[in-house]
Chain A
Amino acid sequence: MEKDFVYADASATTPVSQEVLQAMLPYLIESFGNASSIYQMGRKNESAILNARTTIAQCLGANPKEIFFTSGGSESDNWAIKGTTDILKSQGKKHIITTAMEHHAVLNTCQFLEKQGFKVTYLPVSSNGIIDPLDVKKAIREDTALVSVMYVNNEIGTIQPISEIGTICHEHGILFHTDAVQAVGNVEIDVQKQNIDLLSISGHKFHAPKGIGVLYIQNGVNISPLIHGGGQEMGKRAGTENVAGIVGISKALEIAVRDISKKVETLTPLRNQLIDGLLQIEGTHLNGDRIQRICGNVNISIEGIEGESLILMLDMQGIQASSGSACSAGSLEPSHVLTAIGLGRESAHSSLRMTFDKNFHEKDVAYILETVPKVVSQLRSMSPLWNAKKGGLQ
C-alpha cells in the first residue's frame, strides 16, 4: 500500500503491526472463550495469557508473577500510585516525590492524593529536560512513601537517570515507580538491575492495540486493587481478561525489545538530520537534551508562530505531528513540560514535536525539511510577533 502521508506522531500512538494482528486474531474469533472457564477453550486462553506473562517478564527482567495486565498506561500509573500509597498511609507515610514534567496520569493522580491529605514534592527539571538524582535524594523525608519518575519524557524525549534514582530509593527503603510508556523499544528495561518496584507500559505506543497495558509490581510490594470484582490477575485487578490484547502486547513487546539496537542505529541519524535541518530555519531552538534523548523524538520551538496553526498547516501538506501549544490541546495553558524546562509561554506555544519509529524513512525527513520552512514563512508573514522581532533587528 502506498503511503500518502508522513506520520510523525508515534509518541501519540502507533498502528498495530501485521505480526501483532496475526498473533491476536485467533483469540478474537475462534478461541473467544473466557479464560476463567474450565473447559478446553477457556484453558487454552488461560495458557495463552500465561505465555504472554512469561514473555513480558523476560523482556523486562521480571518474574511472570510480577506482570499484571491493565487497560493501558493511565490505569497502570493510577494503580501504582494509588494502590501502594493506600497501604503505606496506614504506616504514616503520606509523602510522594515526583517531577514537574510527568505525564498527566501521574500528575493528576498526585494532585488527587493531595486532596486526600498526601503531601507531594514536584521536583524541578533542568533546562535540558533531565532530573537530577540528587534532587530526589534531597527531597526524601521520614514519611516518603513513593518516588515516581518517568523513564522517557513524552514531549521532549529525554531519558531520565532512573537506575540512579532507583538506587537512591532503595537505599532509603522507598518504593520506586517509573512510567516507562515512552521507553519501550527505545532503551533497555531491566527492573532488577534498575531497582524498579513498579513500572507502567502501554501497548499502543509500540504497535499493540489501544486499551492494553501492563503494570509490573515487584514481588513483595503491597498494593490495593484499583478495580474490584472477580479474582483475575491474582485477585489484584478484576475484569475478564482481554486475551487478544494480552497476546498482542506480548508479541509487540517481544519485537520492540528485540529490535532496539536496529531502531537506534537507523533512526538516530535521521533524527539528527531532522534536528539539524529544522534548526537551519531562523529563530528556532531544540527543546530537551540533544544527546540524552530517544532516537525518535524531535521537539523544536519556532519563534513567531503558534503551534496549532503550524500543525494544521502541516496536516494539509500531509505531515502529521503535534505541538505543546495550549490551543492544540484545547486548553489555554501551554505544555507543562516545556514550561518546566524554563520556556516562556510564547516559546512553549510555538513548539513542534515530531516523533517517529520504524516506519519512518529518509524520504520522510526530506519531505519534512522541504515543507516545514515553507509553512513557517507563510505563517510568519502574518505574525505580528515575528514582524516586530524582524523590525527590531533591522
Chain B
Amino acid sequence: MNYSAKVLEHFVNPRNSGEIENPDAFGESGSEKCGDITKIYLTIQDGIISEAKFQTFGCCAAIAVSSVTTELLQGKTIEQAMLLTESDIVQALDGLPPEKMHCPPIAEEAVKSALLNYQQKQKKLL
C-alpha cells in the first residue's frame, strides 16, 4: 500500500480527534462492507464552523481522511461545507491508493449528515 507522505503524516498526527460535548451538529456514517465508522462533531457560530472534531474506527486512510476533513471544515460557512466533495478530500491528501477510494465518501457522508442535523435543529428552534 503506497500512501502519500501527507496521508501518513495525518495518520500519525491526526488533527482534531475526539468529540465535542453538546455539539451544534453531529453526523455519522459507516461502511457495511469494510466496517469503517466515522463520527463528525461541529461547533457552529454565526453560520460558520468554528470547531470540527472526529472519531474514526478504520484503517490509516480512514483516519487521515477524517483528520483532513476536519481541517477543511474549519472556518467554512454551512453553504461552503455543503459543497465539500470526496475529491476535495483526496486532493488535500495528495491522493489515495485506488483500494482506499471508498474511504472519502464515508467522511463526506458524515459531514452531510452533520449539516442536516444542524439544519433540523435550527428548524426546531424557529
Contacts and interface: CB of A to CB of B under 8 A. Distances in A.
A106 to B, nearest CB: 25
A67 interface: no
Taking chain B's interface residues, is the majority helix, strand, or loop, or is none over half, making it mixed? mixed
A81 to B, nearest CB: 29
Given A312-B11, A327-B59, A327-B62, 17 more contacts: A305-B57, A306-B36, A306-B59, A309-B62, A330-B1, A330-B99, A331-B99, A332-B34, A345-B35, A381-B18, A382-B14, A382-B17, A382-B54, A382-B56, A384-B55, A385-B57, A387-B55
Contacts of A381: 17-18
Contact of A385 (B18, B19, B34, B37): B37
Contacts of B8: 312
Nearest to A330: B99
Q: How large is the interface on A (under 10, 10 to 19, 20 to 34, 35 or more residues)?
A: 20 to 34
Contacts of A305: 57
A387 B102 CA distance: 24
Interface of A: 304-309, 312-313, 316, 325-328, 330-332, 334, 345-346, 349, 381-387
B11 A384 contact: no
Contacts, number: 68
A304 B57 contact: yes
B101 to A, nearest CB: 12
Nearest to B14: A382
B69 interface: no
B124 to A, nearest CB: 25
Contact of B19 (A326, A332, A346, A387): A387
Given A381-B18, A382-B17, A327 B55 contact: no
B55 A312 contact: no
Nearest to B31: A332
Most chain A CB within 10 A, of B8, B57, B63, is at B57
Contacts of A325: 59
A386 to B, nearest CB: 8
B58 interface: yes
A32 B11 CA distance: 49
A328 B62 CA distance: 12
Nearest to B11: A312
A305 B55 CA distance: 11
Contacts of A345: 35
A309 B11 contact: yes
A312 B56 CA distance: 16
Contact of A349 (B12, B28, B35, B38): B35
Given A330-B1, A349-B35, A385-B37, A308 B56 contact: no
Nearest to B39: A384
Nearest to B58: A306
Interface in B1-47: 1, 8, 11-12, 14, 17-19, 28, 33-39
22 contacts: A304-B57, A306-B35, A306-B36, A307-B59, A308-B59, A309-B11, A309-B59, A309-B63, A313-B12, A325-B59, A326-B34, A327-B61, A328-B59, A334-B35, A346-B35, A382-B14, A382-B17, A383-B56, A383-B57, A384-B37, A384-B55, A384-B57
